Amino acid sequence: MKRRPQQQQTPEADLFSYAASNFPTAQAEPQAGPAAPPSVNPAPEARQEPPPTPEPPPSQPKAVQAPPKPEVKPEVKVAPQEPQLPPGAVPSAKPQPKIAPVTEPKPSPAAEVPSSAVANSTEATHRAHAGFSRSLVVSIHDVSPMTQEVTTKIMAELAEIGVHRLALLVVPNHHCKGHFLDHPDFCLWLQAQARAGHEIVVHGYHHRRDQRPGETFRQKVATQYYTAGEGEFYDIAGADALRIVSQARQEFRKLGLSTKGFVAPAWLLSEGADRALQRLGVCYTTRISGLFDYTTGTQHHSQSLVWSSRSAWRRGMSLLWNAYLFRRLHSTPLLRIGIHPPDFQYPGLWKQIKTLAGRALKDRVATTYAAYLRLK
């Protein structure tokens, strides 16, 4: 008879005992029901009911076994996150590599881009346009801190019509009004142009020749009327040319720029200066009549299109002359277009320059002098 109360300890009884132990409100209601019978039944039967009550304690440890599961709550997951936060050295170490590449030697990569890389990049352009056997070289003269702003505008508009490679003829100390190395912004800009594939060419040094007493009529015409006092290398001595050009090339090397060519202001180059260039290892020079390759001793005949903007009649004659010259040079392997910064100020001149350059690109590849000569 005492086993019957043990049979009442079914899983349902266990669940009830667990609920009674964990939910005291539910425990008060079931006790109110059996409380009436003990007053009616004899005392011995009421004494038999307590024995099942001691058995809930074993059910209570069962209920106590459940809480360990919540003890393994996300607290264990949070614990590994907290040790990661204290070692602030780890996050602090990450920004350090970010700061390292931001160092200002970044402009120096231009030093790793010699003009030979420019030649290689344009050679790739030639292969991309395998159907074109003729070339176009567009050069911008008189590039310096004085003309940087207008030169940038010229380059942008030429790029819009497809001229992505240019020869930039740089004057180291334009009219003695400021050396280019004294202008950090210009130096960075020049390095950027070299990285973009444009060629940097030495273009005189001061780009100025002062008038001298006792000049002949021919000298006056060449240096005053033709060039407005800018024929710096027109009659320079060989020793002076050697010194000046050597100094200019060294100054470009300070920016990591390797210059292959030299172009005299107004294309006026004395015989002594011509010999000096060859002694210095300059690869080429240009005159108004063509391109001279010192490495092979060959001359590429191609008269340059060029405009004069100093007066209205000069501008008018320039438009007529270059329209004729463009037609005459249509079948030449190399077409040259020379641009001076003042040309951009006159809509008539600038319109013709862009028009002729656009027509030339229909059957020519825009390149540089170094790339055309396959210089390395």
* pLDDT tens-digit readout, 52-77: 544 444 444 444 444 444 444 444 44
SS3 content of the chain, % helix, strand, coil (to 5): 55, 10, 35
- Same domain membership, residue 65 and residue 153: no
Kindly state whether residue 90 falls inside one of the protein's structural domains.
no
Tell which of 41, 67, 84 closes a domain.
84
Range 208-232 burial, b when 16+ CB lie within 10 A, else e:
bbeeeeeeeeebeebbeeebeebbb
Q: How far apart are CA 165 and CA 122, in angstroms?
A: 8
Q: In the predicted model, is pLDDT for residue 82 greater than 70? A: no
- Same domain membership, residue 293 and residue 216: yes
Whether the model clears a pTM of 0.75, i.e. scores above it, the answer is no
Domain boundaries, position 8:
3-84
- Same domain membership, residue 254 and residue 351: yes
Q: Domain total for the chain?
A: 2
The mean per-residue pLDDT over the stretch 39-46 comes to: 42
- pLDDT digits 0-9 by tens, 286-299: 999 999 999 999 99
**274 CB-side CA count, 13 A:** 13
Would strands 290-293 and 284-287 be described as parallel, antiparallel, or unpaired?
antiparallel
- Same domain membership, residue 203 and residue 267: yes
- Same domain membership, residue 198 and residue 72: no
pLDDT at 278: 97
pLDDT at 132: 66
- Same domain membership, residue 283 and residue 238: yes
Kindly state whether residue 91 falls inside one of the protein's structural domains.
no
pLDDT at 103: 34
Kindly state whether residue 201 falls inside one of the protein's structural domains.
yes
Find out whether 119 and 368 touch, Cβ atoms under 8 Å.
yes
pLDDT at 81: 45
CATH number at residue 283: 3.20.20.370
Kindly state whether residue 108 falls inside one of the protein's structural domains.
no
Find out whether 5 and 17 touch, Cβ atoms under 8 Å.
no
Q: In the predicted model, is pLDDT for residue 36 greater than 60? A: no
Kindly state whether residue 99 falls inside one of the protein's structural domains.
no
Query: What confidence category does residue 214 fall into, taking pLDDT thresholds of 50, 70 and 90?
Result: confident
Kindly state whether residue 110 falls inside one of the protein's structural domains.
no
- Same domain membership, residue 332 and residue 212: yes
